[in-house]
Structure 1
Amino acid sequence: MKKIIFSIALTMLSSLFIISCSDDDNPSKQPTCSDNIQNGDETGVDCGGSCSPCAPGQSTELQGDITEDVTLDSSKEYSLTGSLIVEDGASLTIPAGTVIKATGGTSAYIAVAQGGQIFINGTAAAPVVMTSAAINPAAGDWGGLVVCGKAPTNVGATAISEVGDLTYGGDVANDDSGSIRYLRLEYTGASFNTTKEFNGLSLFGVGSGTTLEYVQSYNGGDDGIEFFGGTVSGKYLVSTNSGDDSIDFADGWAGTGEYWYISGGLQAGIEGSNNGDNGNATPVTTATLSNITVVGPVGEGALYYKEGGGNFTIDNFYVSGVDLGVKVKSTDAEAATRLEADALVMTNVQFNSILEGFAYTDYAGLNQDFIQEGSATGAGNGAGAPDWAAGWTRGLENSGSEVVQLSGEITGDVALDASVDYELTSAYVVLDGGSLTIPAGTVIKATGGTSAYIAVAQGGQIFIEGSSSDPVVMTSGAAIPAAGDWGGLVVCGKAPTNVGATAISEVGDLTYGGTEANDDSGSIRYLRLEYTGATFNSTKEFNGLSLFGVGSGTTLEYVQSYNGGDDGIEFFGGTVTGKYLVSTNSGDDSIDFADGWAGTGEYWYISGGLQAGIEGSNNGDNGNATPVTTATLSNITVVGPVGEGALYYKEGGGNFTIDNFYVSGVDLGVKVKSTDAEAAARLEADALVMTNVQFVNSIGGFVVTDYTGANLDFVQEGTATGAGNGADAPTWAAGWTVGLE
């Protein structure tokens, strides 16, 4: 059976996209695009030799060997599920803003073989990010990036890389493996054993023809960046929170390092060595470093001069919070000999925040003047993050917004941070006794369909503290968002309903209902919910905001549902009052209440819903269930198109008092099913009273369907302002809503 192995666009001058497929039996198969194929009938099973590219914004699987020139697409999110190797003669180009998420531990890594090339074309505003796909990412989740070149090393004419099992080394000092600029590597360092593990970026015999600038290793399990011989120079490098050494060079590396910012590493800030088996191997490691900052804690010193060391010239070296300046093992005779011969020269070295001043260990030689202290700026700002690291890095004080994934259960008090970018990857549930506080301006982007939603269980609380200028936004994380991309917000309380003493919520499977009319589930103010309504089936789907038995102690104000797949906002019993609510372009009803809701609604603006503007009912199984839905509504606008009427009085209806109701572009005023005896009986008994109702732009004026009773005076027409401006968006909706004029 054939399957799509790689569905990546190769951009040529003619803008033609060439897609390649290969057979499962082909050992040189191209990286996989597993599914989500557009522009054709391909399903990812049999492409017949011609495949269409994956739809923009959808996940694309990467693994296998690249044997021709390939360009990724930054509008797609890539999933690295195995090794991806750029073979001799081929190239991989990764444009600015591309994100690659890896799974699989040691089996997931990207490598460039000798003769292959990689072009990482990130920018300060849009770096390329290679990270973990785990919900709770951690150091060591995947391998890292490995590049192998043909430049000299001192471990033999050629050698096999510690990870990736690729040949490296040779005699081509100016070998060109491509260009790497503005790359962030996160949660790398998967480990085979205690002596064999990936680094964030491993450079094996890489030549000086290669460009290496603006690279960060963040939270790696082993070394952040390591040079194994070669001649490549590294500029503007950042290593943050490495599990071993931060930046390491060895095996005859003969390069230049400029502007390195190192912080939080577990072992050495910089580890520089010659050869682990022979400290005098040639060519000897020869490093010229300048403008370097090392910020502790660092367990093995700002510099570990190791395994013969080498010829190091280091200038403008700023060290902060590190007690040990230079470490040299007492048993390392070759390193000691080089120190005696002035092979290590460190000028303009400044030590700051050191408990005991500069210190070194083990070296007992006579020459101890290899360090000349002076004033240093290090990578640019002393201990502070350098200006050139702003925006594209992570974990520094001037980094761009941090991305944090939300999932799991909250049992204590949790507060989010508006400066962080949040990804909702699955259910995020506030349990009994827990609370979730979301400050103004926070944005949460969701992926995962029905599995991604936020819920508050009975006894939990949520505090959404948006403002008119900075609402809290919960939206889709898709590149091209659409209704139904994710679930929505679900709140469950202990207030009465008419579906039993307690019940299980339609979505989220949480208990709700009870006897506490004034139950307090928190406060929701200035919240915008976008592209909600993920569906399980035709009878079970999320709303934008679902309120199950929520009590009157809860604050609910200034909430918009925008482009939801099902109802915008729905009350399932409870006693909570909803003020300043907006529902725009809902795929079903705009605002819905049922199951004995006994609340007040003020200032509701509804536009563009597919079905009812307001659907009000008592109980779908028993129209006479108690407590009966009792709603007091005022200052309401409904703007069509609305297919099931401005008001759908349904399933027993209830006791509704509605005043100042403005309806525009809707021909059907009230819908009542002819088979709904309980609703009809209530209409006859004046249970529905609508005063100051104004209809405009309606072809037939106010219309009632299906109901054939004698009482037709429950609507008293008059002049209305509705939610504030008649059919127009109200002034209180300005700024924090979308989709309104």
Structure 2
Amino acid sequence: MMKKKIFSIMLGLAALTLVVSCSDDDNGPSNDPTCSDGIMNGDETGIDCGGSCTPCSEEPAETEDLEGEVTENTELDASIAYNLTGAYVVKSGSTLTIPAGTTIKAAGGTAAFIGVERGATININGTASAPVVMTSGAANPAQGDWGGLVIAGDAPTNKGTDVTTEVGDLTYGGANAADNSGSITYLRVEYTGATFSNDKEFNGVSLFGVGSGTKFENVQSYMGGDDGIEFFGGSVDGINLVSIGSGDDSIDFADGWTGNGTNWYIADGAKAGIEGSNNGDDGDATPVTTTTLTNITVVGPVAEGALFFKEGGGSFTIDNFYVSGADLGINVKDTDVEANARIDADDLMISNIQFADTPSEFAATNYAGTNLDFYTEGVATGAGNGAAAPDWAAGWTTGLSNSAPSSQQNLAGEATGDVELDANIEYILTSGFVVKEGGSLTIPAGTMIKATGGTAAFIGVERGATININGTAAAPVVMTSGVENPAPGDWGGLVIAGDAPTNKGVDVTTEVGDLTYGGANAEDNSGSITYLRVEYTGATFSNDKEFNGVSLFGVGSGTTFENVQSYMGGDDGIEFFGGSVDGVNLVSIGSGDDSIDFADGWTGNGTNWYIKDGAKAGIEGSNNGDDGDATPVTTTTLTNITVVGPVSEGALFFKEGGGSFTVENFYTEGIDLGINVKDTDVEANARIDADNLAITTIEFASPATGFEATNYAGANTDFYTEGDATGAGNKGGEPEWASGWAIGFN
């Protein structure tokens, strides 16, 4: 049965072409070399033999020209090859339906475009496997070969009503926000953007005052000469949009657009990834452009950044924004008073923006106004796969293969949900990155994080959040300096806050990172940290506060903390501030202060600690610097400990009330035990006298000149017993359990 085709000017049979023909035999796909999966190679009609073709045959089929006006409901035919030879306009009251697999080739240059009048509808019914394609008919297609698709609706714009489209001379704009111009799904437009006049060019798809009753999903502009897709007012949403290779902006919206956007993938545009504005004549015109954009990827380079906020801007909320090879831009001119005022008023809010593969001149945003808090960095997936092609774009888009996954991504801001990093990506820590309460951060084996943000760069885990560092002996997770010549203090470190008891109280603020910690849950779980190495930490947070390599504030016993090394930290290597978490297989080498420190009522235990080349104490153990008798009292059993000197304050500094310590199998090399209890530290002295410090089987190897086992001058000198010790496993040598993932032993 023939489909009805009625055009008031022209729809002619222009030529014959050869297409695939299928027999009724169910013999499977053809073995003819010109066939592949039942479709003739090079066939532009898109006829699918359905997987049951006999050898390909040839028979005549129609090629039809499209030009003129559609004045009645009309449906095209996917088996016909259409040539767009001029303007083809769907008139008010009529509907044009284009079925899946239809291809329309434009041969009319500047004059060739498809228009849909206000009051008309267009239904483009493509599918992922058979999109509708509107493209150039030139032998060597290029940007600007033809116009594009122009749709005019009756929804509000701030340009007024009964306005004329800047291309195509259609009338648009009205009072019906829910206006329906049809359904556009799985459409690809290619090589659009012909010059309409000296200052006006077609976009790939232009939507003028198109209402929210219209469906606009799974649409791509490819190699357009001007903007890829543009919304001129209206309220239609744009879902699953792709713009590749635009000669101007990739996706543009203006004139009071109040729709929303979800899943936009943009790459290789000449100017802005997204250009968002209100009104070029009056930045405060109403309705004001207002939108929420979610899951956005922009892959550069782009000359005007990922987002150009101009001509009054509007009220934009953007979440999950992935930017690769470009900065955010913004680029608001000083003369754009309304746009600047909106940023200052927090009308532009961007959360979870992540920068990847940033250029050397990267500066996040070019905005020079007073409000620089309008964007918050985080971990983003963008349109689905970061810079790589999203899964939802498979099968119907083109030109996305040049956008490989990013090799480098920035880490900064916040993680508010469940975030997992990728071991194939090198992460650049540019400032603080905090896992928020209720969120989780998972870091797989082999992941590398390099810090370039100096004092401001640290990784924090809030109370109620979790971090899972899943390194292995063969592939540890490494957090290190990103500077060319790394040194202690290049960046902060890892700070974890938990809900376990401390003798500092509850709801206390960490001395670095400003996180809240401390509670009543001794079994609190902050996650699992295994096979982690932190390097060159210890940046100065304030005049009297420095980061440690790893700081654990009120971390509970439900947390796993095993096989962790601090290497060349500027302050302490690893420190426990209260809490009850155990520390198993810990290494601290080259710390600028104490190597491993615990205080504030820590009640966890330690097994297999290897310490070397620290500046001050090998281990510093205390109770509370303000009240040596504060409860809970620091109480621990340490087993299998090695401290290799020299260190200025001995293998163990027992201070500020000390606590109740039992230390077994303690190997020291080149140093004394220390202890170094001050006469004024009444509580610490009392605890030693009461045998709350008991060290069994301690060995002193290669003692220094003038060696004295301990510097303690109190009444009880029987708190330690010498003997043969293996320490962390291999006396002063590298223990077997540290092989492969820890460094700096020789």
TM-score, normalisation: structure 2: 0.48
Larger radius of gyration: 2
Relative to the length of structure 1, the TM-score reads 0.49
